[in-house]
Structure 1
Amino acid sequence: MNPGKVEASEDHPLLHCPVRDIASGAEGELMAVAHERHGGRLIRIAHIRSANGIAWSTAADNIGPVR
């Protein structure tokens, strides 16, 4: 996916907390939730960083708290 244009960020309740990316099963700290424009659509993107420093993004609806 090509990077979208960031329109806004969100003060998400799990910001800086451990989260699980439900789609991949990977876990990390939620660094930001951005509202990005992709092909005319505004999408909420979660930016996550694992303990070993690897970062990735996923749809914000794909994250949940680590229990």
Structure 2
Amino acid sequence: MNRARALLLGVCLAHGVAHGMSLREMRALEQLDARGETYIQYFLIGVMEGALEADRMSRRQGRKPLFCPP
């Protein structure tokens, strides 16, 4: 039973790991695929939204803002 729980926990943790994209991979995707530019735009929007959410979380915890307010 403990082995099954440990395996399940390991799978859950491994599944939750986010993988980033290097600049080299991003440029290669942009050049290889006809819709590569669209994928890059979606990726960068996701990066921006993640940074803004990190800023909001730090403010909720009472820390200094990461960015200047608009």
More strand by share: 1
TM-score for both structures, normalised by structure 2 = 0.19
Largest Rg, 1 or 2: 2
